[in-house]
Structure 1
């Protein structure tokens, strides 16, 4: 029987000249347990492949210097690992070109980051012959606060909290990255989607509503980081 699939055993390289896209993809991959490296262009991406053990690549097409086409060719010459290409160009000729150059899959921007993660998992399983994980952590606990991803419920001191879908999503994302600052743009992308058009102040409004329901405690706190964004500060787990 093939060994059980575990994201923590894989390191993914994300290559994109847009730092915001790199960050969003990285956050989603990390939230599933993957180790993530990033590079701003093909040349830096190839250096990362030479210096680090990498198991899969998320590769943008349109980049300065060595673009995604060139890097895909270079990867295929020296490495056997899955390549998922992402691009703003959705013409069939571009998709065929990527596949002919050795790409294993192709996504057109704007894309759902969850779909990207699912496709990368499928590529890794197919490439390395590993199975899906049988069990997965879906509940986060911080003292009296319990966040259940599967049931989409939050309990505080045993009482079920009445949260809207976006309030739940915001809390879960912050709690998945304890003590890590997430800026407003990252939270917009993760809660509202990368194609959201609007003011980033909607994040502040949602945080205010969340704080009114999930108050600060000795175990955790939703903190403002002046001029940047927010973080879920944890004082005690479990």
Structure 2
């Protein structure tokens, strides 16, 4: 059974979600504070974390930040419906996806399975055993690890998937819609900024080229391309 860490201070909601997820073959452990969430996420053998943004004392955003300092475990955020600021900040800090509350258990299960599929297997048109080498970048899809200038490059699951798509098309423009379909396995919804936020995070991790421009260049309203040299 897939082990899920659920971090939410609403005890009735966690009980309901835990019962439903158990019926869907998930092994759920629930905690109710951000501090407990950080400890459990870093110390337990969990496959994924479901993290509420609105937590007492230590917010879900701060909890995510502390988890990301030491772990790339997939994190699905629960956010208030319509609160775009929390979603953008969460994605910028390395959340893999979000579900607005109130959500149906069925939608939560679907999002969890989509994330787990994404981080556990490459896209079907990729060769999982082939190492991708582009300039200073080396990607190992089988282990989902990355090297940049010979040093480990820490990426979230979505960041790795996006960078892999761009690396395999290095030097060529990849549309946002194509990026979403190939890396995330779903079409890009109107006004959805998730791709932009994740690309911004990858850019920061790669740093700037000698001429000061980013390694991932953009064409406004169209897409992105990874510079190969």
Aligned partners of 1:12 and 1:36 also within 8 Å: yes
| Alpha-carbon distance in structure 2 between the residues aligned to 1:50 and 1:97 | 21
Match of 1:47 among 39, 42, 63: 39
Q: Does 1:74 align with 2:79?
A: no
Q: Does 1:92 align with 2:84?
A: yes
Aligned partners of 1:12 and 1:58 also within 8 Å: yes
Aligned partners of 1:88 and 1:110 also within 8 Å: yes
Give how far 1:109 is off: 1.0
| Alpha-carbon distance in structure 1 between the residues aligned to 2:20 and 2:49 | 14
Counterpart residue number, 2:226: none
1:194-233 alignment, distance < 5 Å = none
Q: Does 1:34 align with 2:40?
A: no
**Aligned with 1:78: secondary structure?**
coil
Aligned partners of 2:81 and 2:102 also within 8 Å: no
Q: Does 1:128 align with 2:120?
A: yes
Counterpart residue number, 1:175: none
| Alpha-carbon distance in structure 2 between the residues aligned to 1:24 and 1:130 | 33
| Alpha-carbon distance in structure 1 between the residues aligned to 2:4 and 2:58 | 19
Q: Does 1:119 align with 2:97?
A: no
The TM-score normalised by the length of structure 1 is 0.49
Larger radius of gyration: 1
Counterpart residue number, 1:102: 94
Give how far 1:130 is off: 8.2
Aligned partners of 1:42 and 1:66 also within 8 Å: yes
Gapped regions of structure 2 (runs ≥ 5)? 124-229
Aligned partners of 2:42 and 2:70 also within 8 Å: no
Counterpart residue number, 2:14: 22
| Alpha-carbon distance in structure 2 between the residues aligned to 1:38 and 1:93 | 26
**Aligned with 1:125: secondary structure?**
helix
| Alpha-carbon distance in structure 2 between the residues aligned to 1:116 and 1:89 | 14
**What is the number of residues matched between the two proteins?**
123
| Alpha-carbon distance in structure 2 between the residues aligned to 1:69 and 1:89 | 16
Give how far 1:67 is off: 1.1
Give how far 1:50 is off: 3.5
**Aligned with 1:108: secondary structure?**
strand
Aligned partners of 2:7 and 2:34 also within 8 Å: yes
Structure number with the bigger relative contact order (C-alpha 8 A, sep ≥ 6) is 1
Match of 1:59 among 51, 63, 72: 51
| Alpha-carbon distance in structure 1 between the residues aligned to 2:120 and 2:63 | 22
| Alpha-carbon distance in structure 1 between the residues aligned to 2:32 and 2:82 | 22
Give how far 1:94 is off: 2.1
Cα RMSD after superposing both structures: 1.7
| Alpha-carbon distance in structure 1 between the residues aligned to 2:88 and 2:34 | 20
